[in-house]
Chains A and B, each alone.
Chain A
């Protein structure tokens, strides 16, 4: 059941991210909703769930864009496992934690993808424009990551898959 929730939610969120417009004033940043899924699983789950969520989110991200297959999965997995390794040092149930992690991860993800895409001659973009975009993605992630985490947590609680007090999966 839990894997079904992961697949369905990730697919739905990828579709919503695809239809959402870019925020022009923030360097044409797109709300990083899929990153929110990875952060949610990285904050309260086992390593295997983090990897599963990161690979699925990454493959969907690459499928619905022109990014080479596997690049986003690699980025999401590295971000997810880094956050997971710091689980014990974080207030994992606090919205501010997911907001701040979303901001930092959004910035890092944008820089990583830019370096890969420019390095492989698949993108033409000035470095300054990328920096504006990376800051923009980080700012939007402050708002979107807690919302995405809240939605998945709420759904898992409703379906009885989560101990609401600890955030652990049954």
Chain B
């Protein structure tokens, strides 16, 4: 009986060691296959939970619909005036570009995607989207919302992709402060216990005049994030431990804990496209 027990433990140990020692290519293929087979169930459960949540929200928000309506109407008026202003600027811009013989830049192509899951373990700041390489998603493409940068595509399967959020310490973004053209590297620091995104802009030239509330946008360097996407605003400024550079705490524009829909920037042509994000 005792011998059987020893054999059992030895066999179990060997099995686990064998699985843990499998090459990455094999384990990744297995993960992708398993993820693909679960994705329909994911979409089903997410759709159901979204419907339940929206029903509760509509019941809760019944009394506030009038206020919400007024607020939306105000926003529409503001946006319409902004559109007119932008149209005149676009016309002027087109004329100037023609005169300067600039190449015609195409717009960014966006893939709309729904968030169907978050990291099951809670260790990483990632979300899973319902779009994969069949829909045009590719590794290292930038992911945004109307409010600004969300992160970059990390892993892609046929029908889903995982996005590493800017709040994750592994996500580094080259950024610029448009007011003074100062460069810095944004690194995520996770979430605070209140759920706020923590991020730091480091390696800022110590001689630059950086102020609280300065907007921070992507610089376009590094080859992953297109230029001009709003990341957030500066909250606090300090010198780093060496004293050679400044560092700043950044308050991202996007509440990463509650996003349900995002856009993957599928293609980027030209190097001087219009800034995205923000509602200012």
Asked if A44 CB lies within 8 Å of chain B CBs, one says no
A79 at the interface (CB under 8 A from B): no
| Residue interface mask A114-150, B partner, CB < 8 A = 1 | 0001000001110001000100000000000000000
Interface string of A17-32 (1 = CB under 8 A from B): 1111110110111100
Q: Pick out which of these stretches binds chain B: A54-62, A87-95, A152-160, A161-169.
A: A54-62
Cβ-based interface call for A98 (8 A): no
Cα of A70 to Cα of B14 in the assembled complex, Å: 12
Contact pattern, A 79-115, Cβ under 8 Å of B = 1, otherwise 0: 0000000000000000000000000000000000100
Would you call A74 and B34 a contact (CB within 8 A)?
no
How many residue pairs between the two chains, A and B, have CB atoms under 8 Å in the bound complex? Answer: 114
| Min CB–CB distance A38 → chain B (angstroms) | 15
State which of A16, A65, A129 has its C-beta within 8 Å of the C-beta of B121: A65
B193 touches A24 (CB 8 A): yes
* Contact of A6 with B by CB under 8 A: no
What is the CA–CA distance of A62 and B35 in the complex, to the nearest angstrom? Answer: 10
- Residues from chain A with Cβ under 8 Å of B118 in the complex: 18-22
Least CB separation from A74: chain B residue: B16
Interface hit among B38-46, B84-92, B199-207, B261-269? B38-46
A21 x B257 contact (CB < 8 A):
yes
Beta-carbon contact of A22 and B128 below 8 Å: no
Residue A151 at the B interface, CB < 8 A? Answer: no
Cα–Cα distance between A15 and B169 once the two chains are bound (Å): 25
Residue of A nearest to B27 (CB): A69
Contacts of A25 in B (CB 8 A): 193-194
Mark out the residues of chain A between 63 and 81 whose CB falls within 8 Å of any chain B CB in the assembled complex. 63-74, 77
Pairwise interchain contact A61-B16, C-beta atoms closer than 8 A: no
What distance in Å separates the Cβ of B264 from its nearest Cβ neighbour in chain A? 19
Q: Which residue of B lies closest to A16 (CB)?
A: B45
Q: Are A64 and B191 in contact (CB under 8 A)?
A: no
Is the beta-carbon distance between A11 and B41 smaller than 8 angstroms? yes
User: With A19-B49, A64-B35, A69-B22 given, is the CB distance from A24 to B192 under 8 Å?
Assistant: yes
Is there contact, CB below 8 Å, between A51 and B35? no
B195:A113 contact, CB within 8 angstroms: no
- A133: chain B residues within 8 A (beta carbon): 122
CB-CB contacts below 8 Å: B101-116 with A: 116
| Chain B residues positioned under 8 Å from A69 (CB to CB) | 19-20, 22, 27, 30-31
Query: A59 to B120, alpha carbons, bound, how many Å?
Result: 12
15 A-B contact pairs sorted by A residue (CB < 8 Å): A11-B38, A14-B120, A15-B45, A17-B120, A18-B118, A19-B46, A19-B118, A27-B193, A51-B12, A63-B30, A63-B38, A64-B119, A66-B119, A73-B16, A77-B16
